[in-house]
Amino acid sequence: MQDSNSFKQVFLKKLLVGLQQDDISSKNMSFLERKRAIKVSSDVALAFAREGANWSRALIRNISKQEKNKTLVRRILGEDFDGLTKPCDSHLTCKRVRCKRILRRSYTVRRTRKVAPKKILASALAKRMLKKKTQVLKFLIPGGESLDELSLLEETVDYIVSLRAQVDVMRHLANAYE
């Protein structure tokens, strides 16, 4: 990850661009609409500041899929909009194609293991629990569905550090407005 101060500076610049839009500052907006616009601005600024991570590209793509967010995202990103919203050709962001024969083979192996001793059953239970927790983590991290376990852990750490920096910058911004 890049230097924390430069990351926070880039995030703050893009966040302020998003917050200065006419849509957010209009008096006609309801509280919930303003809250949504601030969240979108914050998420896009966070993803832009951490450009290059799988979760950041996935977050920008997911936000810009909704038509009501597309104009705000385009204003925040400017000329970088097209490059960040199109799908990436990287092997990490594309789902892997699996052979049916391999899937069948792994299914038969699982079926035969059910008659194993208790020691093996405990390890199988631990593997099953780990797999379930990994699936939950893949759901929580933007773009995590297409990652393997090692990449998922790296992206998770990066995402958590970025979220902490986002909270820190927004807290300082809120204190400055008070």
Query: Percent helix, strand and coil across the chain, each rounded to 5?
Result: 80, 0, 20
Alpha-carbon distance of 140 to 48, in angstroms, equals: 19
Q: Tens of pLDDT along the chain (178 residues)?
A: 556 778 888 888 888 888 887 566 667 778 888 888 888 888 888 888 887 788 888 888 888 888 777 777 877 777 766 666 666 554 444 444 445 555 555 555 555 555 556 667 888 888 899 999 999 999 999 988 888 888 899 999 999 999 999 999 999 888 988 8
Domain boundaries, given as residue ranges, for the chain: 4-96+132-177
Q: Taking the model in full, what pTM does it have? A: 0.69
Within 10 angstroms of residue 13's Cβ, the number of other Cβ atoms is 13
What are the two backbone dihedrals, phi and then psi, of residue 116, each rounded to the nearest 5 degrees?
-80, 165
**Residue 69 host element (H or E):** helix 67-77
What's the one-letter identity of residue 24? I
Within 10 angstroms of residue 173's Cβ, the number of other Cβ atoms is 14
